[in-house]
């Protein structure tokens, strides 16, 4: 935004300097001869022979009103549908409709009769053009028509508008500036296109972007919706997105320029099938405070040049472009791809930085990293259905203060080819395969103050990982198959602390204070809690709130040379067992449920409860209880865990015996909606109109979500009124 503000500031500064100069006689004469701006009207009941100066003398067509307009005039367009001649030129004009659901400007030409140069409106000149409260609609079958063509430093603002059924909704060319607020851009081939496809130089992070010329600038914000386009936005210039919703696009956002995305949501994109990514970055992009869910087949693709997802990089042709992507405080969840393919994040030859981000519940692999440089901080990679992370090619991957847990299908971490992976204070636990697989002798692994344990594969690590373990004492927590949940003191996976998924350390855990001082100590853990809280940092991504370390375990090297926990044998004879027969009834036969589909297991009997585990199709689980209402939910044991969770009856094969299960009380009740919701303050200023909302705290709530017209606009994790 600093770069955008700088560009806008330059424009405004020129205007101030011009106004500050004294007017010469010639200038004063020119000023006096400038016509006064007019208020003009267009109506379905109008007549182009009228003067357009009132509702009663309105014109019938927009062209007639434009011909009568002076500089800075305003044209009011009434309700109804108006056929518009193509190629109208807009200069220093404001068009205001009766509402985007009431005033429709439709292309006058028939479908299929457009040429490739046909546009609704050509926006020209240095003075601003504003369009408000109306819809621009063409015939999508034409595959040629452009809604707005903005070029040569022109300035267009769209507010409370709809642009639909054209080839390109808004085309921004050299030095054009467009602001879009609370608009819907839908059902176009391309919703917004900024610049062409000419390569231009982009600098790295930490430096200013200072191109000598830029290929257009767009600022899109304030609940705007980009929906049902083949490509939502294609950017080869400068783009700023704030509070924008992308839904049901084939490709939501394709960036080859410089882009910032904040407070936005991407959902149900990927209508075109395999090969499409919701967000593709081949330029410089930052994504913050946003969410991506239910996209197919890939949520985020960061790559230098386009290539087929099924053949990573093999069709790559070198170019001058870079792919630099920074992701911060983003929720990437429930994205859906084939199990053997990535669907959350793919990096190919680019630079990728991830901060405080949750990559969870995706129906495929969490991250697929092919060449390039990747850094991940204070994030969670959990509950993905086909592994957590795979590094291939010449990837350089660094993870810090990150939890990788409860991923299914294959190994939690796969390192192949000549990839290099470094873990610092990372927790890899309770995954449903091997913790780390070093699949190639050319791969490199470096592990500091991390724990790799309690994974459910045959071994914690395979493929030479042990050779890369650290030589200091924390190697006892890496690839050691002897640990149990009790002896390691690693608590259940939870996201109830700081909105990130972690395994808390239980009192007495040997991980507490076991970090190596020679490595130094990170200043905070995955949650942002300060380190250390004891004599040393704790091992793994979680820093215990108070040091409760037990006496350190003593590890010895037996004669065989293997290092690990060695059982101690004594000569104390075992007592002779005594058989005692009683009339205790036999325990009931456990009821085992078989899953008919992939399913999430939740904290309570309903889809509004947060999921804490998941099952694959064909998995089984023991059911120990049920709810007392319809629809039926079963209370089942989490495998290899003492905890229980709830699954819906529609996810498992029918089992008549389950109806005989005892009713299980629901420990966690959903909180009621907050009460006394009201507008507590209204502020109207030169900067806009704002509202302050307030409500009373709801008992049992630990956060709130705010919706406007069915769209989520904000969420608050703390349990407080606002």
**Using the 8-state DSSP alphabet, how is residue 15 labeled?**
H
How confident is the model over 594-603, as pLDDT tens digits?
888 888 899 8
**Cβ-contact 469, 443 below 8 angstroms:** no
How confident is the model over 614-624, as pLDDT tens digits?
898 888 888 98
**Cβ-contact 674, 697 below 8 angstroms:** yes
- What is the model's pLDDT at position 719? 46
Residue 407 tokens read as 């991923």
Please check the confidence at residue 305 and state whether its pLDDT lies above 90. Answer: no
- What is the model's pLDDT at position 340? 54
Q: Cα–chain-centroid distance for residue 249?
A: 15
- What is the model's pLDDT at position 703? 74
Q: What is the CA radius of gyration of the chain?
A: 31
Task: Grade residue 561 by pLDDT with cuts at 50, 70 and 90.
Answer: very low
Please check the confidence at residue 707 and state whether its pLDDT lies above 80. Answer: no
Mean pLDDT score, 471-485: 78
Task: Grade residue 1 by pLDDT with cuts at 50, 70 and 90.
Answer: very low
Least confident of 196-210, 407-421, 438-452, 678-692: 196-210
Q: CA-to-CA distance for 471 and 474, rounded, in angstroms?
A: 8
In 441-498, DSSP assigns E strands to: 444-448, 451-453, 461-462, 494-497
Least confident of 116-120, 236-240, 409-413: 116-120
- What is the model's pLDDT at position 657? 72
Q: CA-to-CA distance for 435 and 343, rounded, in angstroms?
A: 21
Q: CA-to-CA distance for 229 and 231, rounded, in angstroms?
A: 5
Q: Transcribe 610-678 into DSSP letters.
A: PEEEEE-TT-EEEEEEE-SSSSPEEEEEPTTSS-EEEEEGGGB---GGGGGSPBPP-SSPPPPPPEEEE
Least confident of 210-214, 352-356, 516-520: 210-214
Task: Grade residue 113 by pLDDT with cuts at 50, 70 and 90.
Answer: low
Task: Grade residue 26 by pLDDT with cuts at 50, 70 and 90.
Answer: very low
State the CB neighbour count (10 A cutoff) for residue 631: 11
Please check the confidence at residue 211 and state whether its pLDDT lies above 90. Answer: no
Percent of the chain at pLDDT > 90 equals: 45
Task: Grade residue 230 by pLDDT with cuts at 50, 70 and 90.
Answer: very high
Is the alpha carbon torsion for 695, 696, 697, 701 positive or negative?
negative
- What is the model's pLDDT at position 608? 79
- How many helices and strands (H and E) does the chain possess? 4, 54
**Cβ-contact 333, 358 below 8 angstroms:** yes
Distances 379 to 184, 355, 391, 526 between C-alpha atoms, Å: 33, 6, 17, 7
Please check the confidence at residue 364 and state whether its pLDDT lies above 80. Answer: yes
Higher local confidence (pLDDT), 683 or 178 = 178
Q: Are strands 611-615 and 599-602 parallel, antiparallel or unpaired?
A: antiparallel
**Cβ-contact 278, 253 below 8 angstroms:** yes
Please check the confidence at residue 198 and state whether its pLDDT lies above 70. Answer: no
How confident is the model over 38-77, as pLDDT tens digits?
999 999 999 999 999 999 999 999 999 999 999 999 999 9
Task: Grade residue 555 by pLDDT with cuts at 50, 70 and 90.
Answer: very low
The helix (H) or strand (E) run that includes residue 11 is: helix 2-20
Collapsing DSSP to helix, strand or coil, 117 comes out as coil
The single residue listed with the structure tokens 């299980």 is 664
Q: CA-to-CA distance for 187 and 201, rounded, in angstroms?
A: 32
- What pTM, to 2 d.p., does this model score? 0.70
Residue 16 tokens read as 């101030």
Please check the confidence at residue 573 and state whether its pLDDT lies above 60. Answer: no
Q: CA-to-CA distance for 242 and 248, rounded, in angstroms?
A: 19
- What is the model's pLDDT at position 571? 36
Mean pLDDT of the residues in the chain: 79
Q: CA-to-CA distance for 239 and 438, rounded, in angstroms?
A: 40
Please check the confidence at residue 562 and state whether its pLDDT lies above 50. Answer: no
Please check the confidence at residue 264 and state whether its pLDDT lies above 50. Answer: yes
How confident is the model over 316-340, as pLDDT tens digits?
333 445 689 999 999 999 998 765 5
**Cβ-contact 378, 523 below 8 angstroms:** no
Collapsing DSSP to helix, strand or coil, 244 comes out as strand
Higher local confidence (pLDDT), 274 or 368 = 368
Q: CA-to-CA distance for 629 and 33, rounded, in angstroms?
A: 79
β-pair partners for 391: 369, 415
Please check the confidence at residue 296 and state whether its pLDDT lies above 60. Answer: yes
Of 204, 221, 191, 360, the closest CA to residue 286 belongs to 204
Please check the confidence at residue 550 and state whether its pLDDT lies above 80. Answer: no
- What is the model's pLDDT at position 94? 96
Please check the confidence at residue 491 and state whether its pLDDT lies above 90. Answer: yes
- What is the model's pLDDT at position 105? 94
- What is the model's pLDDT at position 588? 55
How confident is the model over 122-153, as pLDDT tens digits?
998 778 999 999 999 986 445 568 899 998 77
Highest mean pLDDT: which range of 262-271, 304-313, 634-643: 262-271
Phi first, then psi: give them for residue 452, nearest 5 degrees. -125, 100
């Amino acid at each position: 935004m600093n770069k955008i503000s700088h560009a806008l500031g330059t424009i405004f500064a020129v205007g101030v300097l011009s106004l500050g100069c004294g007017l010469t006689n010639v200038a004063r004469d020119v000023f006096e001869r400038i016509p006064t701006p007019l208020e003009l009207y267009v109506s379905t009941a109008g007549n182009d022979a009228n003067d357009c100066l009132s509702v009663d003398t309105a014109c019938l067509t927009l062209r007639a009103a434009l011909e009568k307009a002076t500089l800075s005039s305003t044209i009011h367009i009434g309700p109804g549908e108006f056929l518009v001649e193509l190629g109208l030129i807009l200069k220093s004009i404001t068009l205001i409709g009766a509402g985007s659901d009431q005033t429709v400007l439709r292309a006058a030409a028939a479908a299929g009769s457009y040429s490739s140069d046909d546009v609704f409106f050509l926006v020209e000149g240095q003075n601003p053009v504003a369009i408000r409260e109306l819809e621009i609609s063409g015939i999508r079958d034409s595959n040629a028509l452009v809604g707005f063509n903005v070029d040569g430093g022109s300035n267009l603002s769209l507010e409370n508008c709809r642009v639909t059924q054209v080839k390109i909704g808004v085309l921004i060319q050299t030095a054009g500036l467009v602001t879009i607020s609370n608009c819907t851009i839908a059902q176009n081939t391309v919703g917004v296109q900024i610049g062409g496809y000419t390569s231009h130089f982009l600098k790295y992070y930490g430096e200013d972007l200072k191109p000598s010329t830029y290929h257009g600038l767009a600022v899109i914000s304030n609940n705007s919706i980009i929906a049902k386009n083949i490509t939502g936005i294609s950017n080869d210039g400068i783009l700023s997105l704030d509070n924008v919703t992308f839904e049901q696009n084939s490709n939501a956002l394709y960036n080859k320029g410089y882009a910032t995305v904040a407070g936005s949501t991407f959902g149900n994109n990927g209508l075109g099938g395999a090969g499409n990514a919701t967000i593709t970055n081949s330029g410089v992009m930052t994504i913050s405070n946003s969410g991506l869910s239910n996209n197919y087949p890939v949520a985020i693709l960061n790559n230098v040049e386009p290539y087929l997802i099924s053949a990573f990089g093999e069709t790559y042709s070198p170019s001058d472009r870079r792919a630099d992507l920074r992701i911060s405080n983003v929720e990437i969840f429930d994205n859906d791809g084939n199990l053997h393919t990535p669907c959350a994040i793919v990096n190919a030859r680019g630079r990728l930085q991830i901060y405080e981000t949750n990559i969870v519940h995706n129906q495929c692999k969490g991250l697929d990293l092919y060449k390039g440089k990747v850094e991940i901080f204070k994030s969670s990679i959990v509950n993905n259905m086909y592994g957590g992370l795979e590094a291939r090619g010449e990837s350089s991957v660094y993870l810090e203060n990150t939890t990788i847990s409860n991923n299914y299908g294959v190994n939690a971490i796969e390192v192949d080819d000549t990839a290099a992976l470094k873990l610092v204070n990372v927790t890899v636990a309770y995954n449903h395969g091997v913790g780390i697989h070093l699949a190639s002798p050319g791969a490199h692994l470096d592990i500091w103050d991390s724990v790799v344990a309690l994974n459910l594969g045959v071994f914690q690590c395979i493929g030479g990982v042990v050779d890369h373990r650290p030589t200091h004492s924390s190697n006892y927590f890496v690839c050691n198959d002897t640990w149990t949940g009790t002896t390691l003191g690693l608590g259940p996976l939870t996201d109830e602390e700081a909105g990130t998924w972690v395994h808390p350390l239980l009192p007495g855990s040997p991980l507490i204070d076991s970090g190596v001082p020679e490595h130094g100590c990170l200043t905070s853990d995955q949650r942002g809690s300060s380190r250390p809280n004891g004599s040393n940092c704790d091992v793994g991504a979680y820093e215990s709130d108070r040091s409760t370390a037990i006496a350190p375990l003593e590890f010895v090297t037996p004669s065989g040379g293997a290092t690990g926990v060695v059982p101690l044998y004594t000569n104390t004879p075992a007592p002779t067992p005594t058989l005692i027969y009683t009339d205790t009834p036999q325990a009931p036969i456990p009821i085992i449920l078989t899953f008919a589909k992939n399913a999430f297991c939740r904290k309570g009997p309903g889809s509004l409860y947060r999921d804490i585990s998941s099952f694959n199709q064909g998995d089984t689980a023991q059911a120990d209880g049920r709810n007392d209402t319809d629809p039926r939910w079963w209370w089942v044991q989490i495998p290899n865990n003492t905890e229980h969770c709830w699954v819906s009856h529609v996810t498992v094969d029918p089992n008549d015996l389950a109806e005989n299960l005892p009713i299980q009380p629901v420990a966690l009740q959903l909180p009621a909606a907050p009460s006394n919701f009201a507008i507590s303050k209204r502020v109207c200023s030169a900067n806009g109109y704002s509202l302050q909302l307030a409500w009373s705290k709801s008992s049992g709530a630990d956060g709130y979500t705010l919706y406007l017209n069915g769209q989520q606009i904000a969420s608050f994790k703390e349990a407080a009124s606002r």
